[in-house]
Amino acid sequence: MEYQQAAEHFVALIQSQRERIAKMKEQRDFIDYDSLDPLIIGVVGGDGIGPAITKQAQRVLEFLLDEDVKAGRIEFRVIEGLTIERRAERNQAIPDDTLAEIKRCHIILKGPTTTPQEGDPWPNIESANVAMRKALDLFANVRPVRVPEEGIDWTFFRENTEGAYALGSHGIHIDGELAFDFTVATTEGSERIIRAAFDYADKNGKTKVTAVTKANVVKTTDGKFLDIAKRVAQEYPAIDLDDWYIDIMTAKLIDTKRRQQFQVLVLPNLYGDILTDEAAEFQGGVGTAGSANIGKRYAMFEAIHGSAPRMVEEGREKYADPSSMMRASVLLLQHIGREREAQRLTRALDICTAEERKLVMTGRDTGATGAAFADYIMDTIARES
Ligand code: IPM
Ligand code: MG
């Protein structure tokens, strides 16, 4: 790219971000799930082991929400078409027709999807996760991590639409010598995620929100994020704002004497991506973690691990462990106000994966199938209530 072209590219980026700000400002309140009839849950399997594990989570959700489903208050809709093969063929992160189907739902339960990178056999299209977060404006990526026996009870509020991700596919190469990527922070975008973190803290009896940035070095965007955190904090006098840099934060998470002090953490997109993988490791790895992607109109719940294509190549997808999708389902239930069902599922997951472990998943025929595991979960739910 020539200098002039690069300058024009930058102007176009500014324009696209201004349009995004205008759209953010138009959005009023959060949708009220109780007013929907029916509330539509779209089940998007994704690719690799995605469809197999998502199907098992759907069975458990339908079991828990049986009365609502029978009464027509809740409808499950399976949406196919978000496979890597189809995305590659269309050369789109989310094919238009699939996105249109998704937008006719209120809530999405999403299985893993392959994210291509340079050098893969697939075209280097944008990640379906990232595209969906943008298309549905799912600005709050909420990732809880709990290890009760170690006093760990963290809830991460990762900003999900800005930072290094907003223009991650729109960087520029100049003269083959120089490469630029862009990081974006907006007042509106920072404020809504920080407010979400404080509101959550407020409603859940938490006394501290920790903002994680690198504002001492990345002065403009992270500086803005931190300034807004300080401003919003003034509205919540009962909650302390703590301010940490991402480097020392990654260290403090492994400090067994200090890490119990963190409660709610709010952070820009890329730091949130990294820190939540580290945090999930203490609870048993990314395979055990669910993730909520929340916006004002839509919300999407997913596992945070990949699609394990090799398991499918070896014909082992039926042995894939669906517990991450079931943890994501817990977040889904909480989000639509089904706290009791969320607790029943959490209890069953704890029993089946830790306390009792009558079935063990190994990812191959030496262990149980996902379907058998889902049956075990449902039997446990029935037994415990
Ligand atoms: C996650 C994942 C995604 C991300 C990838 C798959 C693009 O790592 O959900 O944390 O970076 O956000
Ligand atoms: Mg990640």
Q: Mean pLDDT over residues 232-253, rounded?
A: 98
Secondary structure (3-state) at 129: helix
Give 10-37 pLDDT, tens digit per residue: 999 999 999 999 999 998 889 999 999 9
Atom of ligand 1 nearest to the CA of 113: 6
Percent of the chain with pLDDT over 90: 88
**Best of 115, 120, 307 to mutate for ligand 1, by most ligand atoms within 8 A of CB?**
115
- Do domains 31-138+295-385 and 147-283 share one topology? The answer is yes
pTM score, two decimals?
0.92
Cβ–ligand 1 distance for 169 under 6 Å, the answer no
Query: How close is the Cα of 277 to the center of ligand 2, in Å?
Result: 6
Closest protein CA for atom 3 of ligand 1 = 129
Give 65-97 pLDDT, tens digit per residue: 999 999 999 999 999 999 999 999 999 999 999
Secondary structure (3-state) at 116: coil
Percent of the chain with pLDDT over 70: 100
Looking at residue 68, its pLDDT comes to 96
- The closest ligand to the CA of 143 turns out to be 1
Angle of CA points 168, 173, 13, to nearest 5°: 50
Question: Residue 268: is its pLDDT beyond 80?
Answer: yes
Are the beta carbons of 140 and 147 closer than 8 angstroms? no
Cβ–ligand 1 distance for 320 under 6 Å, the answer no
Cβ–ligand 1 distance for 159 under 6 Å, the answer no
> Distance of CA 170 to CAs 73, 180, 383, Å?
42, 9, 53
Give 219-228 pLDDT, tens digit per residue: 999 999 999 9
- The CATH number of the domain covering residues in 31-138+295-385: 3.40.718.10
Cis ω before 148 (30° cut-off from 0): no
Distance separating alpha carbons of residues 99 and 105, to the nearest angstrom? 10
Closest protein CA for atom 7 of ligand 1 = 127
Structure tokens given for 175:
């003269």
Sorted by where each begins, the domain ranges of the chain are: 31-138+295-385, 147-283
Q: Mean pLDDT over residues 46-67, rounded?
A: 97
Give 163-211 pLDDT, tens digit per residue: 999 998 899 999 999 999 999 999 999 999 999 999 999 999 999 999 9
- The CATH number of the domain covering residues in 147-283: 3.40.718.10
Give 92-118 pLDDT, tens digit per residue: 999 999 999 999 999 999 999 998 888
DSSP H helices in the chain? 3-26, 50-64, 66-70, 84-90, 96-103, 128-135, 163-166, 187-203, 221-233, 246-252, 269-282, 309-313, 323-335, 339-350, 370-384
